[in-house]
Structure 1
Amino acid sequence: MNDVFTLQQRIAELEKQLKYEREVSIQKDAKIAYLYEQFRLAQQKQFGKSAEGFVGQGELFNEVEEIAEKAEPEQQGISYTRNKPKRKPLPKDLPREQVIHDIADKSCACCGGELHKIGEDTAEKLEFIPAHVKVIEHIRPKYACRECEKSGTGSTIKQQPMPAMPINKGIATASLLSQLITSKYQYGLPLHRQESMFKQYGIELSRQTMSDWVIKSAALFTPLVKRLKEELLKQPLLNADETTVNVVKSDKVNSYMWVYCSGADSPKPDSPIPNIVLYDYHTSRAAACVMDYLDGYQGYLHVDGYQAYEKTQASLVGCWAHARRKFIEAKKLQGKNKTGKADVVLSLIQKLYGIESRLKDKSADESYQTRQAQSKPILDKLKQWLEKHQPNLVGNSKLIDAANYMANQWPKLIEYINDGRLSIDNNRAERAIKPFVIGRKNWLFSQTATGANASAILYSIIETAKANGLAPYDYITACLDELCQSTPDIDSLLPWNFKG
Structure 2
Amino acid sequence: MSENKSERQAPAPASQNTPADRSSEKKERARTNNGARRKQHLEAEVIEEDVEPEDPRFNRELARALHTRDVIRYELIPMRFIKKIYHVHTYTQNDEYFSGKAPDAPFLNSQYDGSFIAGLAQLRYMYAMPVERIVKFFNDNGFDMDKSTAHGLLRKTENLFENLYKALGSVINEDTYIAGDETYHKVLVEDRNKDGKGIKKAYIWVVTAVNTGLVYYFYNNGSRKEDIILDYMKGYRGAFQSDGFSPYRKMAQWLLRLACFQHVKRKFLDCGDDFDAMVIVRLVNYLYHLDHKHKIGEGGWTERDKYKWRQRYALPVMRIIRKKLDRMAADSRLLPKTEKYEAVHYMLNEWDALMNIFTRGDYHLDNNLVERLNRYISLSRRNSLFFRSHAGARRSAMFYSLACSCRLQGVNFFE
- TM, length-normalised to structure 1: 0.68
1:55 corresponds to which residue? none
- CA distance in 2 between counterparts of 1:285 and 1:69 reads 53
- CA distance in 1 between counterparts of 2:7 and 2:232 reads 52
Matched, 1:287 2:226: yes
Amino acid at match of 1:177: I
1:293 CA drift (Å): 2.3
1:354 CA drift (Å): 0.5
Matched, 1:176 2:116: yes
Larger Rg over CA atoms: 1
Q: How does 1:237-256 map to 2 (within 5 A)?
A: 237-249=177-189, 253-256=200-203
Matched, 1:348 2:348: no
List per-residue Cα deviations over 1:162-189 (Å, max 9, x = no partner).
Answer: 5432122112111100111111111111
List per-residue Cα deviations over 1:49-100 (Å, max 9, x = no partner).
Answer: xxxxxxxxxxxxxxxxxxx8599x9xxxxxxxxx954234132121122243
1:137 corresponds to which residue? 85
- Give the 3 Å change call, closer, same or farther, for CA 316–250 of structure 1 in structure 2: farther
Amino acid at match of 1:254: K
Amino acid at match of 2:42: K
1:145 CA drift (Å): 5.7
- CA distance in 2 between counterparts of 1:201 and 1:342 reads 54
Contact 2:325 2:348 in 1 (8 A): yes
Q: How does 1:6-21 map to 2 (within 5 A)?
A: none
1:327 CA drift (Å): 0.6
Q: Match of 2:145, SS?
A: coil
Greater Cα shift, 293-302 or 425-434: 293-302
Amino acid at match of 1:182: Q
2:241 corresponds to which residue? 302
- CA distance in 1 between counterparts of 2:286 and 2:313 reads 10
- CA distance in 1 between counterparts of 2:410 and 2:190 reads 36
Matched, 1:165 2:105: yes
List per-residue Cα deviations over 1:299-326 (Å, max 9, x = no partner).
Answer: 1001000011133333210000000000
Report percent identity of matched pairs.
Answer: 24
1:455 CA drift (Å): 0.4
1:146 CA drift (Å): 7.3
Structure 2 residue aligned with 1:311, among 246, 250, 253?
Answer: 250
1:446 corresponds to which residue? 387
- CA distance in 1 between counterparts of 2:54 and 2:200 reads 74
Amino acid at match of 2:255: A
Q: How does 1:36-435 map to 2 (within 5 A)?
A: 84-103=34-53, 115-117=64-66, 119-144=67-92, 157-160=97-100, 163-249=103-189, 253-263=200-210, 273-282=211-220, 283-312=222-251, 313-330=254-271, 332=272, 334=273, 340-360=275-295, 361=298, 362-392=301-331, 393-394=333-334, 397-435=338-376
Contact 2:81 2:143 in 1 (8 A): no
Amino acid at match of 1:191: V
- Give the 3 Å change call, closer, same or farther, for CA 166–314 of structure 1 in structure 2: farther
Amino acid at match of 1:89: K
Contact 1:250 1:448 in 2 (8 A): no
- CA distance in 2 between counterparts of 1:314 and 1:281 reads 23
1:158 CA drift (Å): 4.6
**Cα RMSD for the two superposed structures:** 2.7
- Give the 3 Å change call, closer, same or farther, for CA 342–191 of structure 1 in structure 2: same
1:115 CA drift (Å): 4.1
In structure 1, stretches of 5+ residues that fail to align are 1-67, 74-82, 148-155, 264-272, 475-500
- CA distance in 2 between counterparts of 1:347 and 1:323 reads 12
List per-residue Cα deviations over 1:108-132 (Å, max 9, x = no partner).
Answer: 9xxxx96443x44333222101111
- CA distance in 2 between counterparts of 1:457 and 1:382 reads 42
User: Greater helix share, 1 or 2?
Assistant: 1
- CA distance in 2 between counterparts of 1:212 and 1:397 reads 50
Amino acid at match of 2:343: A
1:352 CA drift (Å): 0.5
- Give the 3 Å change call, closer, same or farther, for CA 352–135 of structure 1 in structure 2: same
- Give the 3 Å change call, closer, same or farther, for CA 85–232 of structure 1 in structure 2: farther
List per-residue Cα deviations over 1:210-247 (Å, max 9, x = no partner).
Answer: 11110111221222222323332111101101011211
- Give the 3 Å change call, closer, same or farther, for CA 414–250 of structure 1 in structure 2: farther
1:421 CA drift (Å): 1.8
1:289 CA drift (Å): 1.2
1:358 CA drift (Å): 1.6
List per-residue Cα deviations over 1:228-279 (Å, max 9, x = no partner).
Answer: 233321111011010112110265832211111122xxxxxxxxx3211111
- CA distance in 2 between counterparts of 1:377 and 1:420 reads 17
- CA distance in 2 between counterparts of 1:103 and 1:163 reads 49
1:350 CA drift (Å): 0.6
- Give the 3 Å change call, closer, same or farther, for CA 279–88 of structure 1 in structure 2: farther
Q: Match of 2:216, SS?
A: strand
Contact 2:135 2:145 in 1 (8 A): yes
- TM, length-normalised to structure 2: 0.82
- CA distance in 2 between counterparts of 1:88 and 1:439 reads 34
- CA distance in 2 between counterparts of 1:258 and 1:428 reads 14
Amino acid at match of 1:91: H
- CA distance in 1 between counterparts of 2:284 and 2:409 reads 31
1:197 CA drift (Å): 2.5
Amino acid at match of 1:200: D
